[in-house]
Amino acid sequence: MSNQLFDAYFTSAPMRAVFSDRGRLQSMLDFEAALARAEAAVGLIPEAAVAPIAEACVAERFDVAALAQAIATAGNSAIPLVKALGQRIAAVDADAERYLHLGATSQDAMDSGLVLQLRAAVALFESELAQLAEDLAVQAERHAGTPLAGRTWLQHATPVTLGMKLAGLLGAFTRQRRRLAELKPRLLVLQFGGAAGTLAALGEQALPVSEVLARELDLGLPEQPWHTQRDRLAEFAGWLGLLAGTLGKLGRDLSLLMQTDVGEVFEPLAPGKGGSSTMPHKRNPVGAAVLIGAATRAPGLVATMLAAMPQEHERSLGLWHAEWETLPELCCLLSGALQQARLLLPGLEVDAARMRENLDLTQGLVLAEAVSIALARRLGRERAHHLVEQCCRQAIAEGCHLRAALGADPEVSAELSAAELERLLDPSHYLGLAQRWVARAVAEHRATHC
pLDDT at 20 over 80: yes
Smallest CA-to-CA distance from 170 within 435, 446, 433 is with 446
- Active site includes 88? no
The one-character DSSP state at 150 is E
User: What number is the average pLDDT over the span 242-262?
Assistant: 97
Whole-number pLDDT of residue 450: 78
Confidence of residue 2 (pLDDT cuts 50, 70, 90): low
Selecting among 2, 127, 276, 417, the annotated active-site residue is 276
- Mean pLDDT for the chain overall: 94
User: What number is the average pLDDT over the span 402-424?
Assistant: 94
* 266 SS3 class: strand
Smallest CA-to-CA distance from 119 within 183, 178, 212, 55 is with 183
- Active site includes 276? yes
Q: Distance between CA atoms of 152 and 403, rounded to whole angstroms?
A: 23
pLDDT at 276 over 60: no
Bridge partners (DSSP) listed for residue 161? 147
* 267 SS3 class: coil
Express as a percent the part of the chain with pLDDT over 90. Answer: 92
pLDDT tens digits along 372-388 = 999 999 999 999 999 99
In one-letter notation, the amino acid at residue 446 is R
DSSP-assigned states of every residue in 335-385: HHHHHHHHHHSTT-EE-HHHHHHHHTTTTTGGGHHHHHHHHHHHH-HHHHH
Q: Distance between CA atoms of 198 and 207, rounded to whole angstroms?
A: 10
In one-letter notation, the amino acid at residue 24 is R
Residues 6+ apart with CB under 8 A from 79: 70, 71, 106
For the ranges 61-75, 203-217, 250-264, 277-291, the lowest mean pLDDT is seen at 277-291
User: What number is the average pLDDT over the span 127-135?
Assistant: 97
Whole-number pLDDT of residue 179: 98
Whole-number pLDDT of residue 285: 87
Q: Distance between CA atoms of 306 and 157, rounded to whole angstroms?
A: 39
pLDDT at 274 over 80: no
Confidence of residue 7 (pLDDT cuts 50, 70, 90): confident
Measure CA of the first residue to CA of the last residue in the chain; give whole Å.
30
User: What number is the average pLDDT over the span 349-366?
Assistant: 95
The one-character DSSP state at 204 is G
Across the chain, which distance is largest between two alpha carbons, in Å? 103
Whole-number pLDDT of residue 443: 97
Q: Distance between CA atoms of 204 and 35, rounded to whole angstroms?
A: 16
pLDDT at 1 over 60: no
Bigger pLDDT: 214 vs 11: 214
* 142 SS3 class: helix
Selecting among 151, 315, 354, 423, the annotated active-site residue is 315
pLDDT tens digits along 41-54 = 999 999 999 999 99
The one-character DSSP state at 268 is P
Tell me if 116 sits within 8 A of 326, measured CB to CB. Answer: no
Whole-number pLDDT of residue 280: 56
Tell me if 336 sits within 8 A of 290, measured CB to CB. Answer: yes
User: What number is the average pLDDT over the span 92-119?
Assistant: 96
Q: Distance between CA atoms of 258 and 448, rounded to whole angstroms?
A: 31
Q: Distance between CA atoms of 223 and 310, rounded to whole angstroms?
A: 20
Smallest CA-to-CA distance from 295 within 324, 234, 336, 258 is with 336
